[in-house]
Structure 1
């Protein structure tokens, strides 16, 4: 055959070989592309895992939200502005260990007189009778007749206190006794039946709560000497007859009094400007007083000299409830201590 006959065939074969070579290169390039895509996907997954790990680490490192707080007056105590979570278990130190309610002898009281006697029992009244009779006996030389200084007894002291309650009940505590014992139907008949007017004046003038002979000696170290024993016994009765609830309050009150007293206070913001300042620990729900303290300014050097700072006053009043799990509140003068 001539050379001219083979040239077209050679050129066609060469063209076919070129096409096959191009197809192979395309297949290889597609495979490389797919491998590149797989690598990219794997890289993306790896990067995403890394990002998740980083984000999780960031979440672990995120601090809790800042709780807004304010400082108390003492510049130490911190108070949270947010309300505490309510649906949580009560903390151990907030569990009240003594159930609230009436206790002791007061549980058997079924009348008004029985309730009153739970606080002013015969021990307190006999203390008044004993000291009053001692004072009457010391003044016997000033009376011309023996019947004029007749000593008192427990029944008469009870009747005397009852008449004082009766006069206050009728809003006649500031009236002259001549008007209260009037026989023209303008007075109170029960007063005349119980005791004569002259006899009512006698215990009014001579009733005493301590021994007058030793008072000056005791006042050297105690300004509260004339009422110390009686006041202590009454506070003990308050604590024996009732157990306060979960919430108690510390506050002060001004007992109206304008007589002669070295620790009488003047507080213009109170309804009665003049009186004796008394600090009280009171049940916030039942308004029951469980502890009292009389403010006498500065006591003389001795066993009754105490610190009158706010923190010391609160600690003394709350001592009977220490460790019982009660919640104690107070006004702004005591809030930083509580």
Structure 2
């Protein structure tokens, strides 16, 4: 599957935004009803927002002083070594081995196992989209499924009605307001507006600008500006009645169900090629959440951190894991990067694929565990790890462009390379 050009992507999203808006435009045979125009944007109870929350600085996973670690060729598990072959795998002389500070032993020479080598990274699966489709709205509906739409429509209408009823009860002398239910076509139009704003590079403009008569007609065709503001204020993605209980164990409870559905749909509609990249993304966001992160090394600095497993060839997002920080009352997580990598990789066990990751995710034990579940890997590892031999670290005496190799347990190989100075 060829990666689409930038112009092709713009055309796709422009067509998608138009298709999403078309349904609601056909339904609008008359102007917005007066009862809707009278609904004002008034504050509602939002006790789920932590107004005193200040993001903490988070460790960035910048690559620095690294060595590359790779899997050795895997040996068939049903073949055993003879005693003499076992002795050949590991020698006791320091001249033939490197040692890490923790005693980890690295052979200088690749072990001669004397057995048949199994090819561990041969793909036997069809890769790419599960179904070919070029119609934008149909592609969109593969991911934004009726399950997701049902949650958003149901909870938005519930929250809107409850808020209107509370306002009417507290303002008995004023004209009663009425909530008009959001429909599926109106939700599509709302999303179409957001997409159109992004495609036209107007997503940072004030919304009033988009509805001006000299602006793009798609915004005015979709819905009135007042209705758009109303939906923006009241849109919800979970049942607010049970949220306080769920927040006790999950800071991302307000979006967790939607997020899980999206992950399922991403995996269901695509089979990755041979290489899978695992890395982090800081999605720019300065809103009030309980898990907004501050990472000064990132361009956006503030945002929501997501760990992604992506197809290295097409950049397709296969699975995402939200980072919500430590839950109150829980102990600090150890080997966080390793745990994340294994969680994101386990869906592809015994598939012959290769995991690619940077030093934040890498430990020697984690690399071995990937090998044992039938995955190859090419990762970097910080040179200050205790398992890394001193000979593999940066040293002035090492010539430029030189390389050193080490082999551990016939599972992992390591390469330390001295690049040219920039």
Normalised TM-score (structure 1) = 0.70
TM-aligned CA distance change 1:139 to 1:235, over 3 Å: same
Q: Does 1:174 align with 2:198?
A: no
Partner of 2:337: 310
SS in 1 for 2:201: coil
Q: Which structure 2 segments of 5+ residues have no match?
A: 1-87, 111-115, 169-173, 368-422
What is aligned with 2:287?
259
Q: Which residue of 2 is the match for residue 218 of structure 1?
A: 246
1:132 counterpart residue number: 156
Superposed counterparts of 1:96-115, under 5 Å: 96-103=123-130, 107-115=131-139
Q: Partners of 1:160 and 1:169 in 2: how far apart?
A: 15
CA distance in 1, matches of 2:310, 2:269: 14
The correspondence for 1:157, drawn from 184, 187, 200, is 187
Distance 1:207 1:100, change over 3 A: same
Superposed CA offset, 1:27-46 (max 9, x none): xxxxxxxxxxxxxxxxxxxx
After superposition, residues 190-201 of structure 1 pair within 5 angstroms as 190-201=218-229
Counterpart of 1:52 in structure 2 is: none
- Mark the runs of 5 or more structure 1 residues left unpaired by the alignment: 1-62, 83-88
1:122 maps to 2:150: no
Higher percent of residues as helix: 1
Give the 3 Å change call, closer, same or farther, for CA 149–78 of structure 1 in structure 2: farther
Structure 1 residues 196-254: Cα deviation after superposition (integer angstroms, max 9, x where no partner): 11111111111000011111111011111101100000000010011111111111110
SS of match in other structure, 1:277: strand
Question: Residues 285-296 of structure 1: matches in 2 within 5 Å?
Answer: 285-296=313-324
Distance in 2 between the 1:175 and 1:152 partners? 25
Q: What TM-score do you get using the length of structure 2 for normalisation?
A: 0.56
- Give 2:216's aligned residue: 188
Cα distance, 1:175 vs structure 2:
1.7
Q: Secondary structure at the match of 1:109?
A: coil
Q: SS of the counterpart of 1:216?
A: helix
Query: In terms of Rg, which structure is larger?
Result: 1
Choose which of 361, 364, 387 in structure 2 pairs with 1:334: 361
Query: How far 1:80 moved relative to its partner?
Result: 8.0
Asked which structure has the greater RCO (Cα within 8 Å, sep 6+), the reply is 2
* Inter-CA distance 190–324: structure 2 relative to 1 (3 Å threshold): same
* Pairing 1:241–2:265 present: no
